[in-house]
Structure 1
């Protein structure tokens, strides 16, 4: 693992490069954004560090991005002190900068530039999907695919299906995402209510045509599955090649649980997607 800082639009961005295990001169690669409600998370959390280690051991080079976090306010939590942070578009533009850096450095790191993907988990999924729209609109290097794990990509959480609503209803209160909680988290990220309608912040419900093939990997028992499922349907309607699946028996954030069999299963799905073995 190489710990680096790269130049970004708001200053230095810490990243970690997890090189693919030896075996081929050019490996597929993933630029990866951890979750944490936009305001929490870091490069040490299992969803960042452990996932990256595991993918690298399976032949995928991972560039994990330490993007700047949104503030922590009383509206979000009463269990910790308030903390300053940054608002959209800072984190989004930093993830975009990391992707462009990875594309530029592909040869130096033994990356197959034609198999450089972009992804994220939970709030990191919103970042990755929004950056994919940025890259589409800007031209230049484009991700080979998009990988979204239990993403929140809508400013307002879509209505759950009857099947999902039944599973949400039996979750403990601290494992559910209520509509008001999601709105508060999203508004905390963008700062201004007008920002909730920005497609680069929350791509759900916007023009998705031209995005790369996308894997949406949901947790089964998860309020936010409503966003992942709706986004997959929107991608399909926009003509994007999309694969959607859910990990049986898992709750939101299961990639943060290395001992969870569902996390191991998801890593196998992710590896197959990133090396292209289950895509046309």
Structure 2
């Protein structure tokens, strides 16, 4: 196994105080899932917001829950369409929702979070189909939501970042909603799981290891016929990254996804696109979600917010 980059010292100290992360497989998944997201009420406490919980028809008619959190009296607000992380096998619409809620606080954005179906119970294109269906609903109901349809951003972390990238590709290809931006936080982009950074983070211990990543991808790909993996499922396989909305892409230097993130940004630049890439030295996967008050996490969050503010500012 190649030598790993060192962790940021403060993050390393925080991580050392946590119990070891368990292995991820079919046997342990049901035990882990309840801990993948907490309730939203403590996060909303003290915020002057309106909250709605709704269910819309999914792409195949199954229920698709959405959580909508809005500033009071939103009229032409930007919208963050949030897609949660969890390796495509766990989490729910409240997972990591504190990240987009900071954009509600600072940018006045309406936050809509989608509860897509999870693998292995759902697989193939089911997950990204759910996410795209939710985006179509948001765009069609922009006036009702108090949202400016020209300022809808798709954003997500980890698996949600990969799904956000897939949604952006599909919106481009199908002439769907014109997205103002995409924010891909440590995104899960490449099912091949074969980069140098993937090999560096093979084995235990780790927040998200190569083996965990393989389990997540295997759970999704089990529902695909043959050997072809659609780009909407694994965006790293897309042959054309031209014509996409401006992208903010980041990762830690000490994580599985580092190299696929760098490659994705490079490929956007190579066709004349906009990608703002940040690799946070010493950051492990999901560091700013797990320890938001750590100095490196605060820098990562502030930098994303500043970029979004520039993208969403009306001329």
Scaled to the shorter chain, the TM-score interval is 0.7 to 0.9
1:270 matched residue in structure 2: 304
TM-score (norm 2): 0.74
Q: 1:32 and 2:63 equivalent?
A: no
Structure of larger gyration radius? 2
Partners in 1 of 2:308 and 2:72 — Cα distance? 15
Tell me the CA shift for residue 242 of structure 1.
0.9
Moved over 4 A (4+): 168-172, 277-280
What is the aligned length?
A: 259
3-state SS of paired residue (1:275): helix
Equivalent residue, structure 2, for 1:120: 156
> Which runs of 5 or more residues in structure 1 are unaligned?
72-84
> Residues 278 and 115 from structure 1, CA distance in 2 versus in 1: closer, same or farther, beyond 3 angstroms?
closer
Residue in 2 that maps onto 1:75: none
The answer to whether the Cα contact below 8 Å between 2:80 and 2:153 also exists between their aligned partners in 1 is yes
> Where does residue 268 of structure 2 map in the other structure?
235
CA RMSD, Structure 1 to Structure 2 (Å):
2.7
Secondary structure in 1 matching 2:101 = helix
Give the secondary structure class of the aligned counterpart of 2:209: coil
* Contact 2:85/2:158 (<8 A) preserved: yes
Contact 1:28 1:275 in 2 (8 A): no
In structure 1, the residue matched to 2:64 is 13
Could you tell me which runs of 5 or more consecutive residues in structure 2 were left unpaired when the two chains were aligned.
1-50
Q: CA deviation at 1:215?
A: 0.8
Q: Deviations over 1:57-87 (max 9, x none)?
A: 112221111111102xxxxxxxxxxxxx111
Question: How far 1:132 moved relative to its partner?
Answer: 1.3
| Residues 139-166 of structure 1, C-alpha deviations (whole Å, 9 max, x = no match) | 13221111100011111135237xx98x
Does residue 245 of structure 1 match 2:278?
A: yes
Distance 1:101 1:261, change over 3 A: farther
Aligned runs of 1:246-261 on 2, under 5 Å?
246-257=279-290, 258-261=292-295
- TM-score with structure 1 setting the length: 0.82
C-alpha separation between the residues in 2 aligned to 1:157 and 1:2? Answer: 38
Preserved CA contact (<8 Å) 1:16 1:64? yes
